[in-house]
Amino acid sequence: MAERITIAGAGLVGSLLAGYLAKRGYEVAVYEKRPDRRKHFQDAGRSINLACSTRGWRALDGIGVGDAVRREAIPMRGRILHDLEGQTSFQPYGTGDQAIYSVSRGGLNEILMDHAESLGAKFHFDMACEDVDLKNGKATFVNYHSKERHEVESRVIFGADGAFSKVRAVMQRMPHFDYSQDYIESDYKELTIPADHNGKYALEKEALHIWPRGKYMLIALPNPDKSFTCTLFMPYQGKESFEDFTDDETTLEFFKRVFPDATEKMPTLIQDFHENPQAPLVIIRSYPWHFNDRVCLIGDACHAIVPFYGQGMNSGFEDVFVLDGMIDKYEGDWSKILPAFTAERKPDGDAIADLALYNYRVMADSVNDEGFMLRKRLEHRIMELYPDRYRSLYSMVTFSHIRYSEAQKRGFEQDAFFERLIQEYDVESMFEDGSVDEFIHGLFERSEMPEGFDLKRVPAEEAEG
């Protein structure tokens, strides 16, 4: 008889996990507190558009849904930065045809649920997790409508129920369970740039648009219907914060002054501002992610991060992919699988949380700094000349399977090295007189870089990721 697995949460990670486990022949039941989004239309404004990259695609392809998602995804080949005068500049994300992909959270969730059901997983909606018996592998769910309680016993219970996980809340009562919850100073609100009067994209389609303004920032990601989903990030309190928007006139004046070229393309700005909720951004860290061989957290439930590296979904999907590999490695022995999963993924969860905060500062402020722009220009040229020997931190995180913790370590080395180069050499003049390529070739020939900088000097398994 197949082992029974219960998953709390039918979001992206829970639905992907359900598909992987059902494909292996487990008896999978997924309980979700919200209604079935496939039957009940849900308004926009409650989530940030997602950017799928290499780690996410590997997990989607591993369950056989990658191509279905690609048909709905839009490539974004770099950032387009908008200054106060409406001038733009382009920063490629990688080299060649490398891109991240804009995907709809809702559409992706529906694809994953449909696929998991086709493999035998059962979904139960309007069922909120009330309690978990950690020692005996029992979970109690309450139907929102009838208030009827259902106790479910399983071989393993997975908490895939998000940043405010009920499963984790129960685990937090355990001795020696470490947990932290940190809100950053910014909240977010979703807005819209619709198609223009000709029914076409109002901005360049294949890019992530950013209006960096220091302590606040606007971003826009393309949708298949020719619109852009925009997200405003700004402090939730204090001067020029969300609490300052007390009337429509103040709101409109702020947008015209700070995001002028975006505002003229947002005819529903005030309506969106009223209708779409203001939401916080939280970082969750926890340890351990499992209890014995009966309960395990996964995705945001154990390592929620801010969205500024586009890795929240990708890291959760990678959790599932890694867990699936461990089922093979330990031949289905949950007493070995769950501790190994925690031990391997915890350092990576912490690393991507740190990196996401780091990238917030880059996106909001540093992209306007001349020194930073020169460093990115030099780095991009190095990647073009030595694609097999150098990867930027962004490339390691976004376009490889190198562990987040290893990418973070190498990124620190890169920062220190580039800082020294910019200080010691007139790199800007080298670009102007055409000698920069010769300079770069010399660096590699003389092996002047730190060990983690040059992939030729890194063990093969680490270099490939």
> Residues 224-243: pLDDT tens digits?
999 999 999 999 999 889 99
pLDDT at 159: 98
pLDDT at 376: 85
Beta-carbon contacts of 348 under 8 Å, excluding residues fewer than 6 positions away, are 315, 318, 403, 404, 405
Domain ranges of the chain: 4-81+101-181+281-360, 187-280, 369-464
pLDDT greater than 60 at residue 247: yes
> Residues 266-288: pLDDT tens digits?
999 999 999 999 999 999 999 99
Specify the DSSP class assigned to residue 163.
Answer: T
pLDDT greater than 50 at residue 298: yes
Which residue in 74, 70, 72 sits closest to 57, CA to CA? Answer: 70
DSSP string, 214-254: TTEEEEEEE-TTS-EEEEEEEESSSTTSGGG--SHHHHHHH
pLDDT band of 302, cuts 50, 70, 90: very high
pLDDT greater than 50 at residue 465: no
> Residues 374-384: pLDDT tens digits?
888 899 899 89
Q: Which whole number is the average pLDDT over 14-31? A: 98
pLDDT greater than 60 at residue 367: no
pLDDT at 365: 61
pLDDT at 438: 94
Q: Which of 88-92, 114-118, 200-204 has the lowest mean pLDDT?
A: 88-92
The verdict on pTM exceeding 0.85 is: yes
**How far is Cα 169 from Cα 347, in angstroms, rounded to an integer?**
21
> Residues 48-72: pLDDT tens digits?
679 999 999 999 999 999 999 999 9
pLDDT at 463: 46
Length of the chain, in residues: 465
Q: Which whole number is the average pLDDT over 34-49? A: 70
**CB-CB contact of 128 with 139 (8 Å):** no
Give the angle subtended at the CA of 273 by the CAs of 271 and 279, to the nearest 5°: 145
pLDDT greater than 50 at residue 405: yes
DSSP string, 407-445: HHHHHHHHHHHHHHHHHHS-HHHHHHHT-HHHHHHHHHH
The single-letter code of the amino acid at 59 is: A
Q: Is beta strand 216-222 parallel, antiparallel or unpaired with respect to 156-159? A: unpaired
The single-letter code of the amino acid at 106 is: G
pLDDT at 451: 63
Q: Which whole number is the average pLDDT over 175-181? A: 95
User: What percent of the chain shows pLDDT beyond 70?
Assistant: 93
**CB-CB contact of 273 with 191 (8 Å):** yes
Beta-carbon contacts of 70 under 8 Å, excluding residues fewer than 6 positions away, are 101
Token pair 């917030």 in the structure block, residue: 360
> What's the alpha-carbon Rg for the chain, to the nearest Å?
23
The single-letter code of the amino acid at 334 is: W
Q: Which whole number is the average pLDDT over 110-137? A: 97
Q: Which whole number is the average pLDDT over 167-178? A: 96
Find how far residue 454's CA is from the centre of its chain.
27
> Residues 431-457: pLDDT tens digits?
999 999 999 999 888 776 666 666 665
Which residue in 285, 289, 4, 334 sits closest to 167, CA to CA? Answer: 289
Q: Which whole number is the average pLDDT over 19-46? A: 86
pLDDT at 446: 78
Three-class DSSP category at 382: helix
Which residue in 261, 167, 204 sits closest to 74, CA to CA? Answer: 204
The two structure tokens encoding residue 145:
């409508």
> Residues 187-202: pLDDT tens digits?
999 999 999 999 999 9
pLDDT band of 334, cuts 50, 70, 90: very high
What's phi and psi for 121, nearest 5 deg?
A: -70, 145
pLDDT band of 460, cuts 50, 70, 90: very low
Assess if CATH 3.50.50.60 describes domain 4-81+101-181+281-360: yes
Which residue in 223, 184, 239, 201 sits closest to 364, CA to CA? Answer: 184
Residue 287: CB atoms within 10 A of its CB come to 17
